[in-house]
Amino acid sequence: MAEAAAGVGRFKSNYAVERKIEPFYKGGKVQLDQTGQHLFCVCGTRVNILDVASGTMLQSLEQEDQEDITAFDLSPDDKVLVTASRALLLAQWAWQEGSITRLWKAIHTAPVATMAFDPTSTLLATGGCDGAVRVWDVVQHYGTHHFRGSPGVIHLVAFHPDPARLLLFSSAADTSIRVWSLQDRSCLAMLTAHYSAVTSLTFSADGHTMLSSGRDKICIVWDLQSLQATRTVPVFESVEAAVLLPEEPAPELGVKSVGLHFLTAGDQGTLRVWEAASGQCVHAQRQLPGPGRELTHCTLARAAGLLLSVTADHNLLLYEARSLQLQKQFAGYSEEVLDVRFLGPKDSHVVVASNSPCLKVFELQTSACQILHGHTDIVLALDVFRKGWLFVSCAKDQSICVWRMNKAGEVACVAQGSGHTHSVGTICCSRLKETFLVTGSQDCTVKLWPLPEALPSKSTGPDGGPVLLQAQATQHCHDKDINSVAIAPNDKLLATGSQDRTAKLWALPQCQLLGVFSGHRRGLWCVQFSPMDQVLATASADGTIKLWALQDFSCLKTFEGHDASVLKVAFVSRGTQLLSSGSDGLVKLWTIKNNECVRTLDAHEDKVWGLHCSRLDDHALTGASDSCVILWKDVTEAEQAEEQAKREEQVVKQQELNNLLHEKRYLRALGLAISLDRPHTVLTVIQAIQRDPESCEKLEATVLQLRRDQKEALLRFCVTWNTNSRHCHEAQAVLGVLLRHEAPEELLAYDGVRASLEALLPYTERHFQRLSRMLQAATFLDFLWHNMKLPTLPAAL
């Protein structure tokens, strides 16, 4: 603990939220504007608008009813956005300003499930869960049509691209497509060829052809002149969206002829291009491993040449439409964040492990996101090597992956290893050099994995894939799941923490047991070595953190303060303080020397599983079950500097006040004292005025020249002074001036005047009674004095 005494001046006192990575899309519709610059998506009660270039959120629109958004659509001219909420209200937005221009009742008897604009941006069709389709004129603000007859939920509506034809298409639970004539106000035809729900309708540029897709694994091409199916293409997957491609050659997509080609997105998780005439798949993306890859949406921004697809994991992928080259990735929703780490030599990136087989790497400066595929089950833990380029992950699929980030910020998997017989729940990297890593598993064993020397500088193995790692040592360490492993700063010791309520110390590389730390009442979630002292910190489900001596395995200190399990602990301030996070959603800062909890940071709403500190010790990173990742900034120095500046300003103002009083410039002095918001200082000024030979006139003149807000403050101060018999005379003098010269109406308009008067009345009455009693006593004394008969003094001899 020698370092604790030396580091007093370096103690941290507070962290502030610098940045939050929050969910912005939780499923449902996504849409690009015509320019491809803005992305619209639903997140609960809000429609979020993202800037595609930077990934930052520009607007978050929420209706006044604060109900979940059930449908939305952006007009083809990109000017009008309409949203529908579960409260059966439709809202029309000037979305660039973030304001509602019109709000009206949907008239549907159940929530609106889908909506679409016509090509002229004047008509809006809404399909409800009540089986009705309604058409609205958004310019003239009235309902134009009401079509009934569809069974169940209307989940799809679309206008014909030629506004002159006035046709509306809808699909409901009966799997047929209904064609409505706006002119005749009737159903022209029912297109029945699908055997399962129709998922999308898309039209050719000339308006003569329509493509429908369904979960029955077929896509159908329709002739809109005859309203007949001309071609059925089996696509061998449940299709969630199909897009007609522009009729022009695109060699990179296998489109060599000018005929009709379309692209499908479905449960296989790949985008595939089909030739309608032959029914052949001419191009398919490479299949990536792991679940959650199913595609749920796909949309084409023709003018911008961009294609947007959405996975079941709520990841949004933006492609260049002509080549399907990946342009951007967005992680819409991380569900439960299980671990977080800073990446890069300057902590420029963060990597997030959530309830998913994918890892997400965010660049802090630009919000750019990369989604990494390598595991086939949920990633449970992360760690990063000292230099920041290499990092490792372990997962429920019993494997580990080593990843390398290059100077451009691109990440690739360079090594993989497997050998555990259960989920690998914890992983730790060597501290001095990039030589080995240690994993702990539910199979109660720890494995030591050496890294080949050439690994950090090359990206692939001899066969072009990741290098395969082999475990050098395996040790059965505990009787229950191993929740945490930590390697000492000198790479010679290993600590393990388990669900069996103990932590153990091992010598590396042979994994020989050196000792056991026992004392916790519940399982251990985290173990961590001090960077400076021979001390181990353990965090437990019993709500405590303990510090242990490595020499004799004794408990040095216990920190109590969390109301639930402590999930992570980290040393900060060169080993003199601790940061801890718990399942109560709190992050706490502790000073080791005095066991004091210096600060409690409350920004998460659920278990904080991930906690990591930056290299420079000026930032911390937390990730929690509320799917939020928060970047904290150490604001200790800033707050101390601010406090120092305030103190200096107070000293300067106090000196200025003394000078003004000495010069008898009472108005300036009183104004300055009120601005300091210190009742006692204001009282000193009032007393100085009263000591003046012409006190009454000067007090009156000074008080009346004050601004109204200053008079309001003075009245509040009078309430404080009036409670004390020593200062009541000053309060009554000020009150007298205000009552004599301010009209009652003006006084009643003062802020908080009623509360002030209620507080003034009882004390004023008490002071009056006290003065009355004193006056009576003084009068009686005077009477006695005048009526006393002094005896005559004897004559001098």
What is the Cα–Cα distance from 324 to 338, expressed in whole angstroms? 32
- pLDDT given for residue 250 in this prediction: 83
Average pLDDT, the chain: 89
Q: What percent of the chain has pLDDT over 70?
A: 96
pLDDT (0 to 100) of residue 740? 82
Q: With contact defined as beta carbons under 8 Å apart, do 440 and 477 qualify?
A: yes
Whether 387 shows a pLDDT value over 50: the answer reads yes
Calpha distance 335→264 (Å, rounded): 27
pLDDT in tens, 39-80: 999 999 999 999 998 888 899 999 888 899 999 999 999 999
pLDDT of 1: 40
| Whether the Cβ atoms of residue 435 and residue 426 lie closer than 8 Å to each other | no
Q: How far apart are CA 380 and CA 267, in angstroms?
A: 25
Express each pLDDT in 702-760 by its tens digit: 888 888 888 888 888 888 888 887 878 888 888 888 888 888 888 788 887 788 888 88
Residue range 116-127: mean pLDDT, rounded: 96
Q: Is 545 helix (H, G, I), strand (E, B) or coil?
A: strand
Average pLDDT, stretch 115-137?
Answer: 96
17 pLDDT exceeds 90? yes
- Read off φ and ψ for residue 309, nearest 5 degrees: -125, 155
Among all chains, which residue has been given the structure tokens 């020249």? 705
Can you tell me the mean pLDDT for 396-407? 94
Q: How confident is the model at residue 8 (pLDDT cuts 50, 70, 90)?
A: very low
**CB-based contacts of 274-282 (< 8 A; 24+ apart in sequence):** 274/219, 274/233, 274/235, 276/211, 276/221, 276/231, 276/233, 277/231, 279/231, 279/233, 279/234, 281/235, 282/253, 282/254, 282/255, 282/256
**Contact (CB, 8 A) for 517 and 548:** yes
State the average pLDDT over residues 611-631.
Answer: 94
Helices and strands (H, E) in the chain, number of each type = 9, 57
pLDDT, position 650: 81
Sign of CA dihedral 286, 292, 294, 297: negative
Kindly provide the residue ranges of all beta strands, DSSP E only, lying in 385-481, ordered along the sequence.
Answer: 390-395, 399-405, 411-418, 424-429, 436-441, 445-450, 467-469, 473-476
* pLDDT at site 280: 92
pLDDT band (50, 70, 90) for residue 792: low
DSSP 688: H
Structure confidence by residue, pLDDT tens digits, 480-491 = 999 999 999 999
pLDDT 10s digits, 545-562: 999 999 999 999 999 999
Over 90: is that where the pLDDT of 5 sits? no
What digits encode the pLDDT tens for the residues 128-176? 999 999 999 999 999 999 999 899 999 999 999 999 999 999 999 899 9
Which residue, chain included where needed, has tokens 């210096």? 598
DSSP for 32-77, written as a single string: E-TTS-EEEEEETTEEEEEETTT--EEEEEE-TT-PPEEEEEE-TT
Whether 793 shows a pLDDT value over 70: the answer reads no
How confident is the model at residue 453, as a pLDDT?
83
pLDDT tens by residue, 579-601: 999 999 999 999 999 999 999 99
pLDDT band for position 292 (cuts 50, 70, 90): low
> What digits encode the pLDDT tens for the residues 639-651?
888 888 888 888 8
> Higher confidence at residue 55 or residue 235?
235
User: Stretch 263-275: mean pLDDT, rounded?
Assistant: 93
